[in-house]
Amino acid sequence: MDSDLIIVGGGLNGPALALAAAGAGFSVTIIDALPSAVRSMPDFDGRSYALALTSQRLLQGIGVWRAVADHAQPMLEIKVTDGRAGEGAAPWMMHFDHAEIEEGPMGFLVEDRHLRAAFLTAMDESDLITQIDAARVVAQDIMPDGATVTLDNGETVSGRLLVGSDGRGSGTAKRAGIKRIGWGYDQTAVVCAVAHDKPHGGIAHQFFMPNGPLAILPLTGNRSSIVWSESTDRAAQLMKLDDDQFLEALRPAFGSFLGQLSLTGARFTYPLGLTLAQSFVADRVALIGDAAHGVHPIAGQGLNAGLRDVAALAQVLSEARARGEDIGGAQPLARYQEWRRFDTTTLALATDTFNRLFSNDNPLLRAARDMGMAAINAAPSLRRGFIREAAGLTGDLPKLMQG
Ligand SMILES: Cc1cc2nc3c(=O)[nH]c(=O)nc-3n(C[C@H](O)[C@H](O)[C@H](O)COP(=O)(O)OP(=O)(O)OC[C@H]3O[C@@H](n4cnc5c(N)ncnc54)[C@H](O)[C@@H]3O)c2cc1C
């Protein structure tokens, strides 16, 4: 075998698993179709992630956080309101403050460029990780004692366990015969970042608009990341506008609480949909991240869920080795699936339900959800439950996320 693990996909979850596995003493070959220079551009491109506190702990545990920390904005409060563009927020809101829990900030906002650069540097520094860039996996063979993948340049790589971290359209899953369920939302997220006059105070805002949620997430300095989910037609129109026109369109939804706005970096669009692999494992194959579950960004939990897969799989593999088991064997894979599949299915269904409940202008639903938000906000134990959920502190936490 060339290595213990072959990881297909060097996006975000693949490198996190490579580092977690190497940290536990496994040798890893990680393959990505794109050159690393394309995956990690030094300029800010508007993409960023709300990482839960437990994801930050994982990044610390795998030696990546020190390179990211100076660029990370702590998320201290979250305010959730219902509204229509131009009318301001409805009077009902949910307000979650990290001061209500002991563990610290609910999470951190990290720009994509800093995260990817930190992953690549840490992988370069590891003797146990071999990186193959600019090579697409086109075939996989499963044998009794391992798996072999074939690259588009004809080379082959073998390992005891094949991990699919190749995103929503996972070829690894397809080749393993794993079917998916899912649907589109006819919504597209327009993602960008803005600079503003007034400080954000580390507060993240989620405004529920009739076409979809608008998230305003604090970045370092007087900057915020925008994830604006709109109907697909409207998102296409928004992308045709020049920067000034785009800001004019954003202002009625965004409001004026942060003062004057200007765009920093490019605008991106992501068609939104749900996709869930019917199994997270097959013979000698495990899926992690978006290859296993792609969810609506309404709760900013996609990458957080993927990083939990990473921490869980790394722990299952270490424990399997300690027991003398084959790391690509059926029992460890069944334990990984049992740990992660129920959690992620629940997350996928919850984000789906929230999106359907909030992305509409039905007056009855509006009244019901406003009452629901007021009730949650008035109940300290429910409020704390939501804060712990946002921080990723609920459920069966893998060791790398326990801090
Ligand atoms: C608008 C939006 C906002 C979001 N905000 C948040 C947030 O705030 N917080 C959060 O937790 N999550 C967020 N997410 C979710 C997050 O972006 C994803 O969960 C995450 O990027 C998935 O990473 P991944 O590594 O699993 O997959 P990907 O990033 O899709 O990486 C897959 C990699 O596999 C490679 N690949 C594919 N096929 C092959 C092949 N055959 N051979 C070799 N390589 C291959 C690709 O080149 C790619 O690099 C958001 C998502 C969207 C759309």
Q: Where are the alpha helices (DSSP H) in 182-242?
A: 232-240
Alpha-carbon span 176 to 333, nearest angstrom: 14
Check whether 96 has a pLDDT greater than 70.
Answer: yes
pTM for the model stands at 0.96
Which tens digit of pLDDT belongs to each residue from 289-317? 999 999 999 888 999 999 999 999 999 99
Q: Which atom of ligand 1 is nearest to the CA of 172?
A: 41
CATH architecture, domain defined by 3-43+112-182+274-359: 3-Layer(bba) Sandwich (3.50)
Nearest Cα to 398, choosing from 70, 9, 23?
Answer: 23
Cβ atoms of residues 308 and 340 within 8 Å: yes
Q: Read off the pLDDT band of 61 (50, 70, 90).
A: very high
Average pLDDT of the chain, as a whole number: 93
First to last CA, the chain: 34
Is the beta carbon of 174 within 6 A of some atom in ligand 1?
Answer: no
Residue 201, phi-psi category: left (phi > 0), alpha (psi -120 to 50), beta (remainder): left
Spatial distance between the Cα atoms of 295 and 349, rounded to a whole number of angstroms: 9
pLDDT reported for residue 116: 95
Lowest mean pLDDT, pick from 44-48, 133-137, 175-179, 323-327: 44-48
Verify whether ligand 1 is closer than 6 Å to residue 107 (CB atom). no
What's the CA gap between 360 and 186, in Å, rounded?
A: 13
Q: Is the CB of 159 under 6 A from ligand 1?
A: no
Across 22-26, 45-49, 195-199, 261-265, least confident range: 45-49
Our mutation pick for probing the ligand 1 site, out of 34, 106, 166, counting the most ligand atoms within 8 A of Cβ, is 166
Task: Determine contact, residues 252/86, Cβ cutoff 8 Å.
Answer: yes
Burial level of 74, CB count in 10 A (0-12/13-18/19+)? middle
CB atoms within 10 A of CB 199: 12
d(CA 173, CA 365): 38
Please report the sign of the dihedral spanned by the C-alpha atoms of residue 64, residue 70, residue 71, residue 77: positive
Which pLDDT band holds residue 88 (cuts at 50, 70, 90)?
low
What residue spans define the domains of the chain?
3-43+112-182+274-359
User: How many A from CA of 302 to the centre of ligand 1?
Assistant: 9
